[in-house]
């Protein structure tokens, strides 16, 4: 937590750059997650096949997705 004083411009800049870095990291993470989910839904990759075969007898996932 950074306390922003009226005369201290450096802390404000530091605060906003930290905020920007945090938002950028969150954006990258969300992009990666959405890309992974999209690939998981569209392409029958090895991971998807392995996941389906593992859960084949536990649920009806194999018939639905594989």
CA 66 – CA 55 distance, rounded (Å):
11
d(CA 36, CA 41): 9
Q: What is the pTM of this model?
A: 0.38
Tokens 């945090």 — which residue?
Answer: 22
Domain definitions of the chain by residue range: 9-65
The helix (run of H) or strand (run of E) holding residue 24 is helix 9-42
Instruction: Express each pLDDT in 51-60 by its tens digit.
Output: 655 555 555 5
Has residue 41 got a pLDDT over 60?
yes
Cβ 21 vs Cβ 29: under 8 Å: no
């Amino acid at each position: 937590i950074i306390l922003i004083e009226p005369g201290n411009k450096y802390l404000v800049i530091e605060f906003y750059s930290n905020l920007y870095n945090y938002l950028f990291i969150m954006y990258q993470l969300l992009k990666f997650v959405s890309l992974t989910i999209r690939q998981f839904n569209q392409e029958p990759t090895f991971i998807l096949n392995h996941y389906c075969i593992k859960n084949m007898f536990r649920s009806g996932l194999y018939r639905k997705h594989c």
